[in-house]
Amino acid sequence: MQLQIVCNWNAVEDYRGAADGNATASFFATHSQLTHSRAMNETVIPKPDYEAALREAGVRITRPRRVILGILSDAGDHPDAMEIFKRAVAIDTGISLSTVYRTMKLLEGIGAIHRHAFEGGPSRFEPAVGEHHDHLIDIDTGDVIEFQSDRIEELQQEIARSLGYDIVHHRLELYGRKRRKR
């Protein structure tokens, strides 16, 4: 099994404080609380060429869209639309949030990106390149751990087959707490 922690956040104290009525609870991380770690299995994932993918789909590449595509290509994290917008506006103040949303929808529609809506948080985006992986979300720390398990993949195939189905697509998100050492 291969594992990678892709996001960390430090909102645990904020969440605990909110439980006491001292702060506003946000159970899952906001972008300002996230960090990112790269390769799950030490392989280098090629930088996506979103511009070529959109051109191939017949989409015109405008100046604002080119900025957004550059941000996505260079992103080492799984940003949400608001974070992409903030990064884009730092480059070009004329870019609108609606342009970000339309661009993300186009990219998702042609299969260039994947949208993840982890429970309680905004949709986050990642390139649709690289090996298939699943996610384990630590509900105490907010860590998002990417993993790949041949055993899980085989079991899913076996279950689908026994029920008379072929799996077309799946997404596995596990939510848990780290075991305490005794």
Are the C-beta atoms of 137 and 171 separated by less than 8 Å?
no
Task: Note the pTM of the prediction, 2 decimals.
Answer: 0.61
pLDDT at site 89: 97
Question: Which domain range does residue 111 map to?
Answer: 47-129
- Based on the domain organization, do 51 and 93 belong to the same domain? yes
pLDDT of residue 121: 75
Q: Tell me how many domains the chain contains.
A: 2
Three-state DSSP state, 33: helix
Whether residue 58 is found in the same domain as residue 122: yes
CATH number of the domain residue 83 falls in: 1.10.10.10
Rounded distance between C-alpha atoms, residue 26 and residue 43, angstroms: 34
Q: Which pLDDT belongs to residue 182?
A: 77
Q: Are residues 57 and 123 in the same domain?
A: yes
pLDDT of the residue at 34: 36
pLDDT of residue 31: 37
pLDDT of residue 55: 94
The encoded tokens of residue 147 equal 């993993």
Task: Give the residue from 111, 129, 147 where a domain finishes.
Answer: 129
- Write b or e for each residue in 81-97: b if 16 or more Cβ atoms lie within 10 A of its Cβ, otherwise e: bebbbbbbeeeeeebee
Residues 74 and 120 in one domain: yes
66 and 39 in a common domain: no
Mark whether 62 and 113 lie in a shared domain.
yes
Mean pLDDT in each 10-residue stretch from start to end of the chain (182 residues)? 44 36 39 38 68 94 95 84 95 96 95 83 78 82 80 95 94 90 82
Q: How far apart are CA 44 and CA 66, in angstroms?
A: 24
What pLDDT does 26 receive? 38
Cα 11 → chain centroid: 18
